[in-house]
Amino acid sequence: MVEVMLSITIMTMVAVAVFPIVGFLVSRGRNFVNENRAGFLLQEGMEVTYNVFLGQWDESWLRYPEGIYHPAVEVDSGQNEWILLTGLQNGLETRFSRQIEIFKVCRDSASGEMVSFPCFGANVWDKKSRLVKTTVYWQEGGKVESVSSDLLLTELRE
C-alpha cells in the first residue's frame, strides 16, 4: 500500500512538472506557424510592390502616392497584373492583416544620404526613390503580433 501511494505521489509530481512544459511547447509551435505564415505574406507584399514599381516607374510614381495599400490582381483584357489598392487588407488566411505603406524619400542635397522626415532646409525629395514598409498583423493569445520589413525602391534609369 505504501509503495502504491509513493508511486502515485511521484507520478503526480512528474505530471505537475511536465504538463506546463507540454502546454508551452504546443503554444510555441502555434506561434512559430503563425510567424512563418506572416513572413510569407510579408515577402509576397514586398515582391508585389517591387514588381509594380519595376514595371513602369513613372506611372507608379503618379498612381501610388504616399499612403497605405494592399496587393490585388487586376484582370484586364485576359491578362492578370498585380496592382496596389488603397487601404489595409484583412482576412488573409482568416487570421492576418497586411498593409503596405509607401513613403517619399528625403535626401541630404550634399551627400545624397537619406535623412529623417520632415524634409526641409537643404534636404530634397528624391523623385527616383520610394520607401516601402510592409507589415503583417495577427491576433495571438489576446494580443496583436506583427512582423514588418522596409524596402527602398530606386529607379536606376536616367
**What per-residue confidence (pLDDT) applies to 33?**
87
Judge whether residue 13 has pLDDT over 90: no
> In this prediction, what percent of the chain has a pLDDT beyond 90?
32
Average pLDDT of the chain to the nearest whole number: 85
* Structural domain boundaries, residue 78: 2-154
Residue with cell 503563425: 34
Number of domains in the chain: 1
Query: Per-residue pLDDT averaged across 93-114, rounded?
Result: 87
Checking 121-125 for CB contacts under 8 A at 24+ apart, the result is: none
| Cis peptide preceding 71, ω within 30 of 0 | no
pLDDT in tens, 38-93: 999 999 999 999 988 887 777 777 788 889 999 988 877 667 888 899 999 999 88
**What per-residue confidence (pLDDT) applies to 100?**
96
Q: Which three cell numbers stand for residue 154?
A: 530606386
